[in-house]
Amino acid sequence: MSNQQQINVGKISGVFGIKGWVKVFSFTESRENILSYSPWLLKKDSETRLVTVIDGKLQGKAVVAQLDGVNDRDQAASFMGWDIYITPEQLPKVAKDEYYWSDLIGLAVETDLGVQLGVVESLLETGANDVVIVKGERERVIPFLQGQTIMAIDLEAGRMVVDWDPDF
């Protein structure tokens, strides 16, 4: 797994039962999607470990998983607090005009008139619609509305064109 491309999809948050299952705090939409991305690269501090997910399910609001080679509660507990990473190659391909947030981070953002606003620092779900946080000479919050505020996204060129007043 190449280092720069890894995507953080969750964290091991606890143990489940006595047979070595772990509780997972999943960042994926829907939560249990994290189970379909195997193997996981687990990281904590400078340690990494590649593990295979052999079983898993939604358990109430939590996701629980069984990892290959983890057979008891003590082994499972040793992974508490470890972050879960995957590579972009493990993600399903998206349809045209759909993007993974991780693909948009770092894109140069400019207005449709060519004014440079900065780069995409992050995205947020607000409930009504997602917003793009753009860091330049100052921070801007732009609604992620394709065809309205977001005019074009060119991943190969590394840029996003927005219909946005630079003074706003």
Strands 108-111 and 159-162 come out as parallel
Do 6 and 86 contact (CB within 8 A), yes or no? yes
pLDDT in tens, 72-99: 999 999 999 999 999 878 877 777 777 8
Strands 139-143 and 130-135 come out as antiparallel
Average confidence (pLDDT) over 6-29? 92
Question: Which residues belong to CATH 2.30.30.240 in the chain?
Answer: 101-162
Hey, how many other C-beta atoms are within 10 angstroms of the C-beta on 79?
22
Domain at 7-90: CATH architecture: Beta Barrel (2.40)
Do 41 and 48 contact (CB within 8 A), yes or no? yes
Residue 4 has pLDDT above 60, yes or no: no
Residue 115, CA distances (Å) to 75, 84, 88, 126, 131 in order: 54, 38, 31, 26, 19
- Residue identified by tokens 């900065």 is 118
The helix (run of H) or strand (run of E) holding residue 154 is: strand 150-154
The CATH H-level superfamily of 101-162 is: PRC-barrel domain (2.30.30.240)
